[in-house]
Amino acid sequence: MRVAIVTGAAAGIGAATAARLLADGFHVCTVDRAEADAPAHENRLDLVEDLVDPAAPARIVGAVLERFGRVDVLVNNAGVGGARAVHETDDAGWSRIIETNLTTAFRMSREVLPDMLARGAGCIIHVASIFGLVGWRNNAAYAASKAGIDGLTRQMTADYAPRGIRVNAVAPGLILTTMTERLLTDAVYRELILQGTPVGRAGDVRDVANVIAFLASDDAAFVCGQTIAVDGGWTAARVRNSE
């Protein structure tokens, strides 16, 4: 039996990842502030938690250990957007995004590590963003939070790969979700992101879930410390596609 925790799993990339891991034979704990919109499954534990609460990770991991007895994979997917430029960002807005996107990943990782370290095995996968790798206008706190995820991935590799725990990240590009549907109404965004993506389309949530599933599998046993862009080539090359 292999056990995974997926945060931010009520919809979008998180929901697709939970579904893919279940299909791959994992027992999965989903975590979100909203109830999961999926049929009940005997191998899934659905928890409603606000990860910004510092006590939430202990409750989550405790429930998983009680139900399944171990944690093999942690997928830190929970996150929010809504960032602005630095001069338009107040302390509350900065803290909200950093806390949700970066601090919760740190806390969840810290909470699962004792079980993983005791067994000398485990896998942690963070969800970063292309905007943690490449600058984008009016995006200060979000970019900083996702760049922090990229750095945390490398640092955790230095600390934990020698002890049997692989840490990687995925950096999605334009993936069709309810959040990006709004962005696609912006003509400049469409021009620079959608029409600039070499493969000529937006990604599906399953495109990201498939890469996460690979990183969680034994096929990725020698992949560690990487942030893999799942972006249709956008960070590697810019083109001008006609729609």
Residue 147 within any structural domain of the chain = yes
Residues annotated catalytic, as ranges: 142
Domain count within the chain:
1
Residue 150 within any structural domain of the chain = yes
Residue 25 within any structural domain of the chain = yes
**Residue 193: both structure tokens together:** 């992101």
Taking CA atoms, 36 is separated from 46, 178, 218, in Å, by: 7, 15, 28
Kindly report the length of the chain: 243
Residue 186 within any structural domain of the chain = no
Tokens 């929010």, residue located: 80
CATH number of residue 94's parent domain: 3.40.50.720
Residue 53 within any structural domain of the chain = yes
Say what angle helices 56-68 and 104-119 make with each other, to 10 degrees: 30
Residue 46 within any structural domain of the chain = yes
Residue 144 within any structural domain of the chain = yes
- Boundaries of domain holding 71: 3-174+204-230
DSSP label at residue 90 = -
Q: Going residue by residue through the chain (243 aa), what tens digit of pLDDT does each one get?
A: 999 999 999 999 999 999 999 999 999 999 999 887 777 789 999 999 999 999 999 999 999 999 999 999 999 999 998 888 999 999 999 999 999 999 999 999 999 999 999 999 999 999 999 999 999 888 899 999 999 999 999 999 999 999 999 999 999 999 988 777 777 788 877 887 888 899 989 999 999 999 999 999 999 999 999 999 999 999 999 787 765
Residue 243 within any structural domain of the chain = no
